[in-house]
Structure 1
Amino acid sequence: MTNIAVVYHSGYGHTAVVAEHVTKGAGGVLGTAARLYKADDLATPDAGPWAELAAANAIIFGAPTYMGSASAGMKQFMDASSKAWGEQAWKNKIAAGFTNSASWSGDKLSTLSQLAVFAAQHGMVWIGTGMMPGYNTKAGSPDSINRLGSTLGLMTQANFDEGADVAPPPQDRKTAELFGAHIAEAAARWTKGA
């Protein structure tokens, strides 16, 4: 069994929706169990499900992009992980990341870079989306999978004046599921040593 942990922070519910779809996609891969963890429950190094993260084969990190970087709630989790870092509890685990913001760009690449560096500091192995851009030719459309064209990690977009019941839109939710499945498959291969 491959165990995937999805650790996320969500300020307004949009990133939580993405996290749910990433988890659904990962959990849909045969032989995989995927579970959500709120960063808020991991805000201190001595409380929360840290042992479950240490036992996971992969950890997928998710945060909204606020003011060009990961949200404060996610950063608090990242800072609290210093005990796990000192113990090298996540070394050689698969890592990946996702982010959401209201704008199509919204400086999301900065957040994904921040999450990738964080994973590297923990000695983790980063996996990108594995997807081609969906909206960079005349055959593409805003309804395409990976419409934002990200490769480092998953990017989604949710209009700030729409609730999490409708935003991010269906194509981003589907992209999140494909991303979760991709990470679960990579973790299974890595765990088996293939």
Structure 2
Amino acid sequence: MKPLVILYWGGSQTITLTARAIAGGAAAAGAEPYLVNAETLGEADWALLARAGAIVFGTPTYMGGIAGGYKAVLDETGHEIWTERGWQDKLAAGFTCGIQQAGDKLATLKSLAIFAAQHAMIWVGQEVIGAPVFPERAGLNASGTFLGLTVEQAEDGVLKPGCEASARLFGARLAAALARWSD
């Protein structure tokens, strides 16, 4: 199976913690996840992204959209990678956080999905249905967002239990999609 790369904005503690939880869920489900901090992206990281079977985009939502530094990294793909269709048919997914529970996080996920579509990638969304539909799943996918994973801001360096569990489940879903798509 090709690598599952989590390209995240390391300037946000919550995004870093979420990236690690997604990687943990993906690894437990049999994938080979790699964490790549967009703030320190180097040649080896670009080569890894080229080999990836799936790329998971993670950025905080700042002022209703993708964090500026992360957007600059995405914009770097607009020449050779985009024109040569270097990421075509790779799986793509996204995750974000914001200070407030809603916080316009869906706008960020839409932007990431459009970015992936422009690269001819295949988008994978969230599949977990939480409470109140299933009361026993309180805390899972608490925002009810299915385009991607949204989490609430970490407190004291720890994700809320429901956010942590949702991220691990999202990682497992991505690993299963990658395994299926790789056949």
- TM-score, normalised with respect to structure 1: 0.87
Residues 125 and 138 (structure 1 numbering): CA distance in 2 closer, same or farther, change over 3 Å?
Answer: closer
CA contact under 8 A between 2:139 and 2:161: conserved in structure 1? Answer: no
Q: Deviations over 1:74-102 (max 9, x none)?
A: 10111111221122111001100000111
Q: Secondary structure at the match of 1:123?
A: coil
- Following superposition of structure 1 onto structure 2, how do residues 1-194 of structure 1 map, counting pairs within 5 Å? 1-30=1-30, 32-42=31-41, 47=43, 49-82=45-78, 83-132=80-129, 134-137=130-133, 139=135, 143-158=138-153, 162-163=155-156, 165-166=157-158, 168-192=159-183
Aligned residue type for 2:179:
A
Aligned residue type for 2:34:
R
Q: Deviations over 1:24-63 (max 9, x none)?
A: 1111112x210000111338xxx45211111011000000
Shift of 1:158: 1.1
Residues 138 and 88 (structure 1 numbering): CA distance in 2 closer, same or farther, change over 3 Å?
Answer: closer
Aligned residue type for 2:94:
G
Q: Number of residues paired by the alignment? A: 182
Q: Deviations over 1:155-177 (max 9, x none)?
A: 00016xx33x12x3121011001
Residues 104 and 140 (structure 1 numbering): CA distance in 2 closer, same or farther, change over 3 Å?
Answer: farther
Q: Deviations over 1:90-118 (max 9, x none)?
A: 10011000001111100000000000000
Aligned residue type for 1:179:
F
RMSD: 1.8
Aligned residue type for 1:15:
I
Structure with the largest fraction of helix = 2
Structure 2, unmatched stretches of 5+, are: none
Q: Secondary structure at the match of 1:81?
A: helix
Q: Which runs of 4+ in 1 moved over 6 A?
A: none
Structure 1, unmatched stretches of 5+, are: none
CA distance in 1, matches of 2:90, 2:27: 17
